[in-house]
Amino acid sequence: MDAIEVIVAKRDGHELTTDRIDWVIDAYTRGEVADEQMSALAMAILLNGMNRGEIAAWTQAMIRSGERMDWSGLDRPTADKHSTGGVGDKITLPLAPLVAACGAYVPQLSGRGLGHTGGTLDKLESIPGWRASLSNDEMLDVLRSAGAVVCAAGSGLAPADKKLYALRDVTGTVESIPLIASSIMSKKIAEGTGSLVLDVKVGSGAFMKTVEQARELAETMVALGTDAGVRTVALLTAMDRPLGLAVGNALEVEESVEVLAGGGPSDVVELTVRLAREMLEAAGIAGKDPEQALKDGSAMDHWRRMIAAQGGDPDAPLPRAAETMTVAAPASGVLTGLDAYAVGLAAWRLGAGRARKEDPVSAGAGVTLHAKPGDVVREGQPLMTLHADESARFERALEALEGGYAVGPAAGEHLPLVIDRITA
């Protein structure tokens, strides 16, 4: 077999056989298929798609490119959640310890942010001392002692995806549902979780801009997980406006701790509790109430153990940006819209995100919201506070926010927080 034969088959709209898929993924991982050949194939897939059988074979081949973790020695079921990413989406932070407090083990491999959405590891790294890289043995120790572990995926997990995702990022081939679904699910299946809840975000701040696209992605991922023996459920949730009131690494940790202390913004609490219930149901754990575990301190106790077990100090003050600027309401009325993408881009320009994988992020940078769509505001009242390490960043952040919010006489339309639930 050679790479040209595989590329030409997909270019001409044919189905790729499992043999061809197995060969090309393996040869690419070993460096025998060149990046330019794989990018041509990725573009052919983006343009011509893959059917369910091809996507399943592609996913399995990427799983086989590396190790598959195994938690079968643990005495309780494992459950994980994956979000397709959004602005202010810090849900993993309160959710992982909350689900651990309710009786499941949560082994979660997470990523860093790229572009306008934040990454869970970047957020946790704003906690002084906290370490993202753990060996498999360390991961098991943290799981046993805290019930939950959130860390970086090691280089042994789906290495084909690691290489291919970096290539797609620079060749305009990220936005393909077959490639996104197989990329996410190869890592989640290789991670070895017994059950998985997918939070597929919809709206301007998400990968998927429409409910139809999100539904297709969710159905594809649920089928992949189910076929691989992982109990998988997906929720489609709103990302037309930011989640919660904090966008930015340390700011989001602070908000997550508020949720774990029984407070926090209502949308973050509602989604955290809903996802926790879904995870516990998928893991077959009954009789524990996540709302109660937020109130009685048990989720907070697991959080503190999880952070400390990874070298972090849960009591240390979080970093703060040196400079702040207030954005005031331009008129009196109702905040009719607050665009997730505009706020995410502003936070990114303030220093919370990175343009290239190797760039550092600012722990303290970001945006704090003082009103959400539907709230009544008075002219001149603070709508948001911008945080940055250098005041020179404010101008470009303000440009990002132009047209991203509006005050009018009546509330505007927005998506319900949970739009739909997809099962196998």
Closest approach of ligand URA to the CB of residue 293, in Å: 29
Closest approach of ligand URA to the CB of residue 165, in Å: 5
Question: Among the options 20, 81, 82, 241, which is catalytic?
Answer: 82
State the number of binding residues for ligand URA (CB under 6 A).
6
**Which of 86, 87, 88, 108 lies closest to 97, judged by CA?**
108
Stretch that binds ligand URA, among 27-35, 128-136, 177-185, 413-421 (CB under 6 A): 177-185
187 flagged as catalytic: yes
Contact call for residue 153 and ligand URA (CB under 6 A): no
Contact call for residue 184 and ligand URA (CB under 6 A): yes
Question: Among the options 187, 241, 302, 393, which is catalytic?
Answer: 187
Alpha carbons within 13 angstroms on the beta-carbon side of residue 197 total 29
CA distance 114 to 353: 7
Phi, psi (5° rounding) for residue 159? -60, -25
Stretch that binds ligand URA, among 88-96, 174-182, 317-325, 387-395 (CB under 6 A): 174-182
Q: Please, which residue, 172 or 263, has the CB nearer to ligand URA? A: 172
Encoded tokens for 295: 């109130």
Phi, psi (5° rounding) for residue 233? -135, 150
**Which of 128, 329, 352 lies closest to 247, judged by CA?**
352
Contact call for residue 183 and ligand URA (CB under 6 A): yes
Question: Among the options 10, 168, 241, 349, which is catalytic?
Answer: 168
Q: Please, which residue, 54 or 255, has the CB nearer to ligand URA? A: 54
**Which of 234, 152, 146, 213 lies closest to 187, judged by CA?**
152
Sole binder of ligand URA in the list 180, 243, 327, 340 (CB under 6 A):
180
Stretch that binds ligand URA, among 87-95, 178-186, 359-367, 407-415 (CB under 6 A): 178-186
CA distance 330 to 233: 42
Stretch that binds ligand URA, among 43-51, 179-187, 234-242, 369-377 (CB under 6 A): 179-187
On whether the CB atoms of residues 266 and 417 are closer than 8 A, the answer is: no
Question: Helix, strand, coil proportions of the chain in percent (round to 5)?
Answer: 45, 15, 40
Stretch that binds ligand URA, among 17-25, 66-74, 176-184, 390-398 (CB under 6 A): 176-184
Contact call for residue 43 and ligand URA (CB under 6 A): no
On whether the CB atoms of residues 344 and 366 are closer than 8 A, the answer is: no
DSSP calls for 222-274? HHHHHHTT-EEEEEEEE-SS-SSSEESHHHHHHHHHHHHTT-S-HHHHHHHHH
- What is the phi-psi region of residue 6: left when phi exceeds 0, alpha when psi lies from -120 to 50, beta otherwise? alpha
Q: What is the pattern of x (binds ligand URA, CB under 6 A) and - over residues 112-151?
A: ----------------------------------------
Q: Please, which residue, 177 or 283, has the CB nearer to ligand URA? A: 177
Question: Among the options 183, 186, 256, 362, which is catalytic?
Answer: 183
183 flagged as catalytic: yes
Sole binder of ligand URA in the list 165, 303, 341, 394 (CB under 6 A):
165
CA dihedral 254, 256, 258, 261 (to 10 degrees): -130
Contact call for residue 105 and ligand URA (CB under 6 A): no
Q: Please, which residue, 42 or 345, has the CB nearer to ligand URA? A: 42
Q: Please, which residue, 190 or 347, has the CB nearer to ligand URA? A: 190
Element (H, E) at 126: none
CA dihedral 28, 31, 37, 39 (to 10 degrees): 70
Active site residues: 82, 161, 168, 183, 187
Residues that bind ligand URA (CB under 6 A): 165, 174, 179-180, 183-184
